[in-house]
Structure 1
Amino acid sequence: MLGVSAWRCAVAAVALSAGIGLGVPAVAQEPVPGAVISVIPQADGFHGMSGAQVIDYWTRGVGGVTQPASGALYLPAGAAPAGGWPVVAYDHGTTGLGAGCGGQSDPAGAPWPDSQAREDVFLRHLVSKGFAVVAPDYLGLGRFDTGPHPYLDIDTEATATLDLLRAARSVRPDLSPVWLAAGMSQGGHAALGTAHRRQSYAPELDFRGTIAIDPASDVEKVATLLGPGARDRVSGGVLGFSASILAGLRAARPDARVDDYLSPLGRQVIDEIGALCQDAIDARVADLYLGDLLSRSLGEEPLRSVLADYMAVPTSGYDAPILLLVNATDRTVPSPLHAALAAQFAAGGVAFEPVVGTGSHCELNAAMWAAIDEFLMRAV
Structure 2
Amino acid sequence: MRVAVSTRAALAAAAAALSLAVAAPLADAAPPAQTPAASQSGSAGTIIGTQARPDGWRGAAHGLAIDYWTRGADGKPVPASGGLLLPAGKAPAGGWPVVAYTHGTSGYGPGCGGQSGPDAKADRFTSRLLASGYAVVAPDYVGLGRFETGVHPYLNNDSEGAATIDLLHAARGVEPSLAKKWVVAGPSQGGQAALATAHMQSRYGAPTDFRGAIAVDPESDVEKVMAFLGPYVPPAPAVLEKAYGYLLAVLAGNRVADPAVDVNSYLSPYGRSLVDKVGNGCPAPTVPAGTAFGSLLAKPLGSPELRASLDRYMAVPTSGYTKPTLLLFNALDLTVPSPLHAKLEADFVANGVDHRTVLGTGSHTEMNAAQWAAWDDFLRTALA
Q: If the length of structure 1 is used for normalisation, what is the TM-score?
A: 0.88
- Residue number in structure 2 paired with 1:321: 324
Counterpart of 1:302, as a letter, is: E
- Residue number in structure 1 paired with 2:3: none
Q: How does 1:247-286 map to 2 (within 5 A)?
A: 247-277=252-282, 280-281=283-284, 283-284=286-287, 286=289
- Quick one: which of 42, 49, 73 aligns to 1:31? 42
**Shift of the alpha carbon at 1:149?**
0.1
Q: Identify if the C-alpha distance between structure 1 residues 273 and 107 changes in structure 2 by more than 3 Å, giving closer, same or farther.
A: farther
Higher relative contact order (CA 8 A, sep 6+): 2
Question: Is the 1:40–1:53 contact (alpha carbons within 8 Å) kept by the matching residues of 2?
Answer: yes
- Residue number in structure 2 paired with 1:307: 310
Question: Is the 1:72–1:136 contact (alpha carbons within 8 Å) kept by the matching residues of 2?
Answer: yes
Sequence identity percentage: 53
- Residue number in structure 2 paired with 1:48: 59
**Shift of the alpha carbon at 1:289?**
2.9
**2:102 aligned with 1:103:** no
Offset from partner CA, 1:151-200 (integer Å, 9 cap, x none): 01100000000000000000112111100010110000000000000010
- Quick one: which of 189, 210, 220 aligns to 1:217? 220
CA–CA distance in structure 2, aligned partners of residues 306 and 168 of structure 1: 33
**2:338 aligned with 1:338:** no
CA–CA distance in structure 2, aligned partners of residues 82 and 285 of structure 1: 57
Question: Is the 2:277–2:285 contact (alpha carbons within 8 Å) kept by the matching residues of 1?
Answer: no
**2:132 aligned with 1:129:** yes
- Residue number in structure 1 paired with 2:205: 202
Counterpart of 1:71, as a letter, is: G
- Residue number in structure 1 paired with 2:17: none
**Shift of the alpha carbon at 1:30?**
4.6
**Shift of the alpha carbon at 1:29?**
4.9
Q: How many residues align?
A: 351
Question: Is the 1:255–1:306 contact (alpha carbons within 8 Å) kept by the matching residues of 2?
Answer: no
Q: Identify if the C-alpha distance between structure 1 residues 91 and 130 changes in structure 2 by more than 3 Å, giving closer, same or farther.
A: same
Q: Which moved more, 1:226-235 or 1:321-330?
A: 226-235
Offset from partner CA, 1:100-149 (integer Å, 9 cap, x none): 1101112747xxxxxx76xx111010111111000000000010010010
- Residue number in structure 1 paired with 2:101: 90
Question: Is the 2:164–2:197 contact (alpha carbons within 8 Å) kept by the matching residues of 1?
Answer: yes
CA–CA distance in structure 2, aligned partners of residues 8 and 126 of structure 1: 33
> Could you list the runs of 5+ residues in structure 1 that have no partner in the other structure?
12-27, 110-115
**Shift of the alpha carbon at 1:52?**
1.0
> Could you list the runs of 5+ residues in structure 2 that have no partner in the other structure?
1-30
The two structures, once aligned, show a CA RMSD in angstroms of: 1.9
Q: Identify if the C-alpha distance between structure 1 residues 7 and 203 changes in structure 2 by more than 3 Å, giving closer, same or farther.
A: closer
**2:35 aligned with 1:7:** yes
- Residue number in structure 2 paired with 1:362: 365
**Shift of the alpha carbon at 1:282?**
6.1
Greater percentage in helix: 1
Offset from partner CA, 1:328-379 (integer Å, 9 cap, x none): 1000000000000000000111011000011111010100000011111111
**Shift of the alpha carbon at 1:255?**
2.1
Offset from partner CA, 1:212-245 (integer Å, 9 cap, x none): 0000000011000111120155750112111111
**2:179 aligned with 1:151:** no
CA–CA distance in structure 2, aligned partners of residues 349 and 203 of structure 1: 27
